[in-house]
Amino acid sequence: MKKLNLTTYLAIRDIPAKKLLLLLEQMSDAGGAVVLMNLESRDSLDMIRMLSQKKRDRMVQCLIDLESAEETIQHQVLEKVEKEILKVLATHYDSIDINERLAELICHFQSSQRIAVLDLIRDKKKTAFGQIRKKIIEYKEKHEICFFEDILSFPDEDLRDRIQDVDTRKIAIAVKEADEAIKTKIMENMPRRIREMVSDDLQNIESLTVDQIDEAQNAVMKALMNKKRGSGSR
């Protein structure tokens, strides 16, 4: 069966178990069944165990019925349940900030995913884009997160000083599929010897997975930020 849309999922994701249990008891059996289906397996199992016997049996039966139903029926039920969930949440949680939840999620995306999602939001939800960007900045500052694309905002002098001690192969993997502006920014601020080493690595690197690129970009940023903190403490 199809999953809840992102907005609804973010709304229910962090509700404490005891409060979510109360909400499930108040929802329709189909609504509760869909919520359980969208929880992590362990959380879903724990929640089922806490439900009253009658409610649990009815919701489990709903899950069985929904899984065997035609896709058009599933879609109709899901649309109805989406509205019910948000209505119930609005009654109990006046302060749910969907943009804040979405910003948090985006901050933990891999670089390519994050850029693609932000581009999509900018194109499709222009009014919300500015608010989400603001929430992302706040989340980054609070949790001391730095994106790989933030390298573009580094002063050249700082980047030249920090990049020298970063593993050249990590740099090569990090910039292999990066935006051309980021690649140029990094390459132009390297000493000639290091730039040649990175160029050699780039020629020898074959296909890379998204996870490998993300890991390398995170490693580069961690090294750069650690060096920044170290120099700032002297």
pLDDT, tens digit (0-9, with 9 covering 90-100), for 56-95: 888 888 877 877 778 888 788 878 877 887 777 666 555 5
Say if residues 7 and 98 touch (Cβ distance below 8 Å).
Answer: yes
pLDDT digits (tens, 9 = 90+) for 165-195: 888 999 999 999 888 999 999 999 999 999 9
- H or E stretch at 76: helix 71-92
Q: Does residue 197 register a pLDDT over 90?
A: yes
Q: Does residue 233 register a pLDDT over 50?
A: no
For the chain, domain boundaries = 6-96, 100-143, 148-232
Question: What is the CATH T-level fold of the domain 148-232, as seen in this structure?
Answer: Annexin V; domain 1 (1.10.220)
Is 0.75 surpassed by the pTM of this model? Answer: no
Q: What does the pLDDT read at residue 10?
A: 64
Q: How many whole angstroms separate alpha carbon 84 and alpha carbon 152?
A: 44
Say if residues 70 and 1 touch (Cβ distance below 8 Å).
Answer: no
Q: What does the pLDDT read at residue 136?
A: 92
Q: What does the pLDDT read at residue 234?
A: 39
Structure tokens at 58: 């009815």
